[in-house]
Chains A and B, each alone.
Chain A
Amino acid sequence: MAVLVDITKCIGCEGCTVACKRYNQLNFKAKPRNVKDGRVELDDNRWTVIQEFQGKDKDKLRFVKKQCLHCLEPACASACFSKAIQKDKKTGAVVYYPDLCVGCRYCLVACPYSIPKYQWEEQFPQVSKCQMCSERQTNGDAPVCVAACTTGALTSGTREELLKKAHEIIDSDPRYVKHIYGEHEVGGAEWLYISDVPFEELGFKTVSDTPVTDYTKSYLSKVPGFAAAWALFLTGLAVYNHRVEKNRKANDEDEQGKEE
């Protein structure tokens, strides 16, 4: 399931963030840990936040909902060496399984958007990020933030449907920026954004369309062949060295025999 965010429709009521905290049983009292440029960022008790932007000329007030984008080629899931983050094939949600987590924080470093956060104050900390309410989705419900949205800024559906709808909106309405954030970004995401203010003015990171997982994939695909070739080469060399030694010993003995 995918979600389309129409930034022009968001009024910043924070209904979605409250619903998220309630549904996921996050701590309401926790103070924001990460504040950047006066805006509250995600942390272990804030899986989604609303951030306020005023555009380049400070004349347009816009609210941007920030959470995990649930990439089609998730870097975090690909980076996890114990499969503690997996992309659910049915729902498309990128889900975290704490039982499998070792706590190496490679996912935090790997995510191009720096979405996963860590429970730094816990004794045995876990990673925390939006799970896209995967349990609700398996029951056929929309994520809780979408259900809580009163203005229609968030709509859920299949990715193809939403992409079609988004294209219709931005093509028919000249006020919109002719770009759907999340359509191609690092290989595309389940969360799509459309806006009338350029995305870079709204704190969206400009990234390339190539999934970052491509680089590791192409590297890892070369490793077995290289390892086999290197091992064969070394074995051959070892056998050769062994024979040289053996021959030298035999020669030495022969020479000694002749001298005697």
Chain B
Amino acid sequence: MRIYKCFRILGWDFTITPTRFVLTGFVFLMVATVLLRLLTGFQYVTNLTDETPWGLWIAFDVMCGVALAGGGYSTALLVSMFRYKQYGIVARGALLTSLLGYILVMAGLFLDIGQWFNFWRPFVSWGYTSVLFEVFWCISIYTTILSVEFFEIITERVLVKKLHKYVVKILPVLIVIGLVFPVLHQSSLGGLFLIMKEKMFPLWWSEFLPVYFLLSSFFIGSAMVAVETSLAKTAYGHEIPHDIMLSLTKVGARIMVVYLVMKLYDIITLDQWSYVFQGTLQSNMYCIEMLFGIIIPILIIFSPLGKKKWGLLTYAWLTVLGVILNRLNCVFTSMYESGAYFPGIGEFIVSIGLISMGVLIYCFLVENFNILGNERAVQIKIDKDKDIKNLIWSLLRTKRH
């Protein structure tokens, strides 16, 4: 077993691993690109045109980011409201992922707006007829609430005496409010597309779009928690009992069945079977999305395969990728002419940089606060040629009070 070098600066642990060097590099690249973007506009950084006004930043960073951050509210709903106490050990991790997700979404949105110094306008100039107005308010409020909720974990170590008890006291209220807003804006993200009736490919447009987005954010939530815990397991050796993960994902999978039934109902009532098997790019993408993102995951989780670890993990990854594909399809495949848009290098650099930044912040926070299984994590790596002297030396370095 090898523990990576860990530096202690002003009482905070900073672990250095080769991966984190690379990620930091991505972050610096992103910072440079962001400066270029903010100072020169869109022309050098993005491939956006009048035909394709929304690009990777909206479709991936914002749409997928918000969906992936659904783990926070879905877990909170199950743990605090429906009293599935056994899921409590994943709640803090899910909360952190959501918070980071939302902060990155806000960063992505900020970069995507043309007159970024005007970002506060909707707070005073109320365009209440717009679904985006609702999304904007809900995301702003919810991010604030998530931050305060997360503050409970922070104040366990910092400002313990001054603030912790107050934060704990208002927590129940925050949890209720913090469950209203995500439900509202997850659905209104789908509501954004309602006005594009004349532009979208019929397979993706439906009056139920808000419901679809809400349901899919719920089931991607638990799938994302499963993916996240499996990653945390490889990095930090923190394991969650398989039966807990299975029953948690099964709650999501039941919602997924509802989603599938609604989609089928839509196709049958609107008589869209001809579109599904049209053989064009759009219909093929739709079939891929439904088959690999919905039908196969459902089959896996409700068959004996789900009892195996790899089965659950396959379900989780397929679901996550399926919802990402759905969001990308809603923007790109259904609205743009095929081949009209491909993200520019700058757009990729910023998206990758934002995710890298999220990963780095996540690692720093779980190593310094009680998040994974309510204890601080240490990054371990199984190393067969273990060097006892080195191991002791590194253990001494990371020794905690």
Contacts and interface: CB of A to CB of B under 8 A. Distances in A.
Contact of A105 (B53, B83, B117, B121): B53
Contacts of A208: 197-198
A205 B198 CA distance: 9
Given A81-B122, A238-B176, A103 B191 contact: no
Interface string A104-116: 1110111010100
Contacts of B130: 78-81, 106, 216
A235 B174 CA distance: 11
A42 B175 CA distance: 49
Candidate in B82, B112, B118 with the most chain A CB atoms within 10 angstroms: B118
Interface string A52-88: 0000000000000000000000010111111110000
B41 interface: yes
Give the size category of B's interface with A: 35 or more
Contacts of B41: 120-125
Nearest to B179: A234
A84 to B, nearest CB: 8
Contacts of A105: 53-54, 114
B183 interface: yes
B183 A230 contact: yes
Candidate in A103, A114, A212 with the most chain B CB atoms within 10 angstroms: A103
B133 interface: yes
Nearest to A244: B83
Contacts of A237: 81-82
Candidate in B54, B128, B132 with the most chain A CB atoms within 10 angstroms: B132
A124 B192 contact: no
Contacts of B113: 102-104
Contact of B197 (A42, A122, A212): A212
A106 B192 contact: yes
Interface string A181-224: 00000100000000000000000010110101101110110010
A257 to B, nearest CB: 25
A158 interface: no
A234 B115 contact: no
A216 B180 contact: no
A235 B81 CA distance: 9
A188 B83 CA distance: 53
Contact of A234 (B118, B133, B176, B196): B176
Contact of A219 (B42, B121, B172, B210): B210
Nearest to A43: B50
Contacts of B134: 220, 223
Interface in A16-50: 33-34, 41-43
A106 B207 contact: no
Contacts of B279: none
Interface string B45-70: 00011110110000000000000000
Contacts of B184: 223, 226-227
B122 A82 contact: yes
A151 interface: no
B359 interface: no
A118 interface: yes
A238 B172 contact: yes
B395 to A, nearest CB: 40
A81 B194 contact: no
B115 A125 contact: yes
A11 interface: no
Contacts of A81: 122, 127, 130, 132-133, 136
Contacts of A106: 130, 132, 192
Contacts of A234: 81, 176, 179-180
A108 B335 CA distance: 12
A78 B129 contact: yes
B50 A118 contact: yes
A109 B115 contact: no
Interface in A88-139: 100-106, 108-110, 112, 114, 117-126
A120 B48 CA distance: 8
A103 B335 contact: no
B280 interface: no
B129 A217 contact: yes
Contacts of B128: 220
Contact of B199 (A42, A112, A217): A112
B257 interface: no
29 contacts: A75-B195, A79-B129, A81-B127, A81-B136, A102-B114, A102-B122, A104-B113, A104-B114, A105-B54, A106-B130, A112-B197, A112-B198, A112-B199, A114-B50, A118-B50, A120-B48, A122-B114, A123-B40, A126-B114, A212-B198, A215-B197, A215-B207, A216-B129, A219-B191, A223-B188, A231-B176, A231-B177, A237-B81, A237-B82
Interface of A: 33-34, 41-43, 75, 77-84, 100-106, 108-110, 112, 114, 117-126, 186, 205, 207-208, 210, 212-213, 215-217, 219-220, 223, 226-227, 230-231, 234-235, 237-238, 241-242, 244
Q: Which 5 A-B pairs have the closest CB atoms?
A: A103-B114, A112-B198, A81-B133, A215-B194, A82-B121
Given A41-B50, A100-B125, 6 more contacts: A100-B118, A106-B132, A121-B41, A124-B115, A212-B196, A219-B131
